[in-house]
Structure 1
Amino acid sequence: MERRLYYGSPYMAEWQAEVKEIIEKDEKFLIILSETAFYPGGGGQPADSGNIDGIAVEEVYEKDGEIYHVLNRKPQNRIVKCAIDIVRRRDLTQQHTGQHILSSVFDLYGGETSSFHLGDDEVSIDISLSDISGELLKTIEDKANGYIYRDLIVKAHFVSPEGASDFPLRKAPPRDDVIRIVEIDNIDFSPCCGTHVTRTGEVGIIKVLKAEKMRNQTRIYFKCGMRALRDYQDKHAIVSALSRLYRTSEGEIPARSESMMAQLKSLQKELSDLKEKTLALEAKGIAGLARSKVIRMDLEDKKADEISLLAKYILQNGDFILVLSSIPDKRLLFAHSGAFVINCGKVFKDHLAEFKGKGGGSDKWANAGFNDVNDMKNFAEFLNGLASSLSIHDDKKDIAS
């Protein structure tokens, strides 16, 4: 087994090692080194990235006690220069130690951590509490940051399974011959194989972002260290921009936003009412000028919801068969007043696929969508021809199929 440098030196960025073995597999090269600082992943923490003799390490994993470094070409030297992405390592290490701190505080309030998720963008833990109030969440966040400000020592113990029972572990240890226990200065003891800072002050800060209920648990999203700083910088920029836009102080932004939202809803209601009145007038004009009981229109300036309203108002002004299409939305409406023996939905079912459309409806109203405007227009012409063969009331003709 190679020496695992990341245990003793979590911030080692460069070193030299001997290539012990090279295994070619699936057009990749699996490298085993005499010693490595590449963390292979585990315990919720992703593997490190970096290079060996300038060749990018695509993957690092552990199997049967060996750590394999996956490269796309073979290194030429027996003694190789290795380097990890130290910025990424520091980030992952901050997040992982921050998780131990946060989990230990939740534990004080009866919240056991059941899982830990550490990605490049999000960090979260699942806590065995179904309901966490905002007040409790703030108390836990404050206490966790208190541990950071005390700059407590973080150290590791390598013990046997029997020796593990001497520690007040926060969770059960794995069934290994040697168990690594990470201790935060008598505050937290947790079996863990990941990389950690040497003092809690290096975590910088823990900021809880949100709590999301999941059945009988709660998922807590948070950020630590530089991630928390970047998050604050981004959000501060947004708040500052809103303050300038609203010409108000940062503290008054929520109230100003609520006021503007109320105004916007009022204006939207006025606009919607005005649009309906306009469509009703337009529909009355269309019905009055109609020279046929079949009204066929391609509307360049109307969305699908607008042609639906227009159709409703036209049918209030007389018995018609409507073939209306929205050019912007590539949506078609086929409807009638009920004075015709034609089943719109069945016509769509029988013929729509021929014109590459998708949709359906009832006996008096059907809608369809198209990827191509020409297909829609061709179907509209088909419907227009079908509808034109009808007469109303006393001379009904059933062409539902």
Structure 2
Amino acid sequence: MPRQNYVFTSESVSEGHPDKVCDRISDAVLDAFLGQQPEARVACETFATTNRVVIGGEVGLTDKGKLDEYLDRVEDIARDCIRDIGYEQEKFHWKTCEITNLLHPQSAHIAQGVDATGNKDEGAGDQGIMFGYAVEDTPELMPAPIHYAHQVLRRLAEVRKSGQEPTLGPDAKSQISLRYENGKPVEVTSIVLSTQHRDESQSSDDIRDIVEPYIREILPEGWITEATDWHVNPTGIFVIGGPDGDAGLTGRKIIVDTYGGAAPHGGGAFSGKDPTKVDRSAAYAARYLAKNVVAAGMAKRCSIQLSYAIGVAQPLSIYADTYGTGEVHEEQIEKAIRTAMDLTPRGIRTHLELNRPIYARTAAYGHFGRAPEPDGGFSWEKTDLAETLKRAV
């Protein structure tokens, strides 16, 4: 029986965090290629530091004659991302930072494993294990600590960009600790918020006065109490931020991107990877399946593991864990999953319509727990498979 009474903590980082600047650029490059050719292959990595952004990796197009044309757009894409995030600092400015583009064609040896040829089905773009998770903590079926840590930073970004709070800067981190009672979140035991600001005369108390109303607006009523421990900009001044304060790299925030440590993670990052890479697409499929299991009432909490081999179409294994909350046995869930969804890389991409330019929006505030969007964004958050799963058990 899983523990029912405990305190659990998750953190989030804002779109202006150095690693998230890199995730955003990598995913914006991916979107640009998918927007031109839905079957484009992209594995884009970004590094950022003081006044410098370096972009590298592999891209593949069936129309190789257009590759140089698309590569020429990468610098402008990166500058647009930095500008939208809000960086206009002396040592990291969208207009003046140096951008180096080292993207090159995809390895033919990788492509041969993925491509469908003759009697061979399209294979996975890499080996690995991927996890999906869902729990009844929130209406979005996300773990509450990471969900609210994201929401706090999204709200602060909104008021910063609208001009409502002009002294806030783009770089920020949040951390929420929640007390669970009888398996349900009931109280915030501590809040940690560090945000970049523009005025060196502002103290930690000044920043708390700015951010506290928004934090209280986001967290459920009654969860913040007199006993809640607050740490707002605990080190003091935080004016130097973003890549000027700390170097950034694509893919370093995989726990922030997923479930805040409340569930297993296979280890693969998402941003900058096209959906033939099962690190990304199969992790989305596993979340989709776990969420639909919980939405179907088959369990109150569920994780799904999928595993793949490079060049092989079918998953090597499917594993379900309901942590003792299941209304049906895990083996029945695993069998239902096999019949309810084609989990080959092509099947996942088709079912979730992943060959679209929908990825830059995932680069901050979590890949999961977001509302499905009309253009196909966050399609893996739908619960349209729940009835199919119920019928299959």
TM-score, length-scaled by structure 1 = 0.23
TM-score, length-scaled by structure 2 = 0.23
Q: Which has the higher strand share?
A: 1
Q: Which has the higher helix share?
A: 1
If you compute each CA radius of gyration, which structure gives the higher value, 1 or 2? Answer: 1
Q: Which has the higher contact order (CA 8 A, sep 6+)?
A: 2
